[in-house]
């Protein structure tokens, strides 16, 4: 069900499904979206310092705990250190800033947002420190290619729990997925709906018709059946509910393959080997 979790390599349980809040505006927009999601049964929220909405996410989480009779431990909050803050001391400071903005006692998962060349190892050392201090339950990376992970693991004391990457039928990431599986690193999908581009894709739509499901539901179900954690974004309550309604059907092996065959190794987002932000 919606609250099913995967056990990460450090023993922490992370929900397979969550809400992404990239581009959800700070204030009532993000607060209402997060609260609608938690009411609908979501237990995981994915934000980042650069999204500029950590205060709203934290407020919504605190209010939703009260209003739904939950405990903090039942929710899972992810944030990320932005590129401009990478390096050891600056990351320690960035972590404290995120914690303060969220106004929570701890963060569940903190990620290195992008593999900033020459810096991500020092950034990682800072995450290892806050992890060892118990301020964060798990640490991980985002947008890391296989070579970044290999390089990081040469010096890392703590193996990342998660690698959050762009993942959808057009970018099925076979190499990264396989590598992460061999290292016990959980893959997590960003842009699982192709940032909305696949919600009226003909093949996805016709597969959905067989199950009485929408294209968005097919795309998200496919992530789970690929063994990938997924965090679709919406600020519209009806879509928030729709996106989570994927636990009462299973795509056939044939359909999973047909969706996977759409892979073109083609990104919508930036190339982790060539980004300039
Ligand atoms: P997404 O694939 O989740 O698409 C979101 C868009 O799809 C929405 O804005 C909306 O327009 C549309 N949509 C959502 N549900 C729909 C539905 N049921 N029917 C029709 N349209 C629907 O894209 P995303 O927001 O970029 O990715 C999800 C989350 O991943 C983000 O919110 C963020 O938390 C995270 N993310 C991380 C990174 C990173 O570098 N680590 C980058 C981008 C996003």
Is 162 part of a structural domain of the chain? yes
Q: What's the whole-number mean pLDDT along residues 187-194? A: 98
* 142 confidence band (pLDDT: 50, 70, 90): very high
Range of the domain at 19: 5-260
Structural domain contains residue 271:
no
**Candidates 110, 114, 204, 234: which one to mutate for ligand 1, based on the most atoms within 8 Å of Cβ?**
234
Nearest CA to ligand 1 atom 43: 190
Query: Has residue 179 been placed in a domain?
Result: yes
Of 41, 46, 44, nearest in space to 16 by CA: 44
Closest residue by Cα to atom 38, ligand 1, is 190
Q: How many CA atoms lie within 13 A of 30 on its CB side?
A: 24
State mean pLDDT over 96-107: 98
Is residue 269 situated within a structural domain? no
Q: Active site includes 51?
A: yes
Domain at 72, CATH number:
3.20.20.100
Q: Which residues contact 258 (CB under 8 A, 6 or more apart)?
A: 203, 207
CA 231 remoteness from chain centre: 5
* Binding residue numbers for substrate: 113
Per-chain mean pLDDT for the chain = 98
Q: Count how many domains the chain has.
A: 1
Pocket residues: Cβ below 6 A from ligand 1: 20-22, 46, 113, 142-143, 164, 190-196, 199, 216, 231-234, 239, 242-243
What DSSP designation does 25 have? P
Task: Locate the ligand 1 atom nearest the alpha carbon of residue 239 and give its number.
Answer: 18
Ramachandran category for residue 231: left, alpha or beta (phi over 0 → left; psi -120 to 50 → alpha):
beta
The protein residue whose alpha carbon is closest to atom 18 in ligand 1 is 239
Single pTM value for the model: 0.98
Atom of ligand 1 nearest to the CA of 168: 2
pLDDT in tens, 66-86: 999 999 999 999 999 999 999
Assigned domain for 273 exists: no
The answer to whether the complex's ipTM is over 0.95 is: yes
- pLDDT of amino acid 112: 99
Q: What average pLDDT does this structure show over 163-187? A: 98
Selecting among 51, 120, 131, 179, the annotated active-site residue is: 51
The answer to the question of residue 130 being in a domain is yes
Summarize pLDDT for 143-171 with one digit per residue, the tens. 999 999 999 999 999 999 999 999 999 99
Query: Given this model, what pLDDT does residue 14 score?
Result: 98
The pLDDT tens digits for 127-136 are 999 999 999 9
Nearest Cα to Cα of residue 243 among 40, 46, 76, 15: 40
User: Does residue 274 sit within a domain?
Assistant: no
On whether the CB atoms of residues 190 and 232 are closer than 8 A, the answer is no
Find the mean pLDDT for residues 43-50: 98
Angle between helices 88-102 and 120-132 (to 10 degrees): 50
In a domain, 219, yes or no: yes
């Amino acid at each position: 069900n919606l609250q099913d979790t995967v056990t990460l390599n450090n023993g922490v349980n992370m929900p397979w499904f969550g809400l992404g809040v990239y581009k959800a505006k700070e204030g009532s927009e993000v607060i209402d979206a997060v609260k609608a999601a938690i009411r609908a049964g979501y237990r995981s929220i994915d934000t980042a310092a650069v999204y500029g909405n950590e205060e709203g996410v934290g407020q919504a989480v605190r209010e939703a705990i009260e209003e739904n009779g939950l405990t903090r431990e039942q929710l899972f909050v992810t944030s990320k250190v932005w590129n401009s803050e990478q390096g050891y001391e600056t990351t320690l400071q960035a972590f404290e800033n995120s914690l303060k903005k969220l106004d929570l006692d701890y963060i569940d998962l903190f990620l290195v947002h992008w593999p900033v060349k020459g810096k991500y190892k020092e950034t990682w050392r800072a995450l290892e420190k806050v992890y060892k201090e118990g301020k964060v339950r798990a640490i991980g990376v985002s947008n890391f290619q296989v070579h970044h992970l290999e390089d990081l693991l040469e010096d890392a004391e703590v193996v990342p729990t998660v690698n959050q990457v762009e993942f959808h039928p057009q970018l099925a990431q076979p190499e990264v997925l396989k590598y992460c599986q061999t290292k016990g690193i959980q893959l997590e999908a960003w842009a699982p709906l192709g940032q909305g581009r696949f919600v009226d894709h003909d093949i996805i739509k016709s597969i959905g018709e067989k199950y009485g499901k929408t294209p968005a539901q097919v795309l998200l179900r496919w992530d789970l059946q690929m063994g990938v954690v997924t965090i679709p974004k919406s600020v519209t309550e009806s879509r928030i509910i729709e996106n989570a309604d994927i636990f009462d059907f299973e795509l056939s092996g044939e359909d999973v393959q047909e969706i996977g065959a759409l892979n073109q190794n083609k990104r919508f987002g930036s190339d982790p080997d060539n980004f300039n932000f």
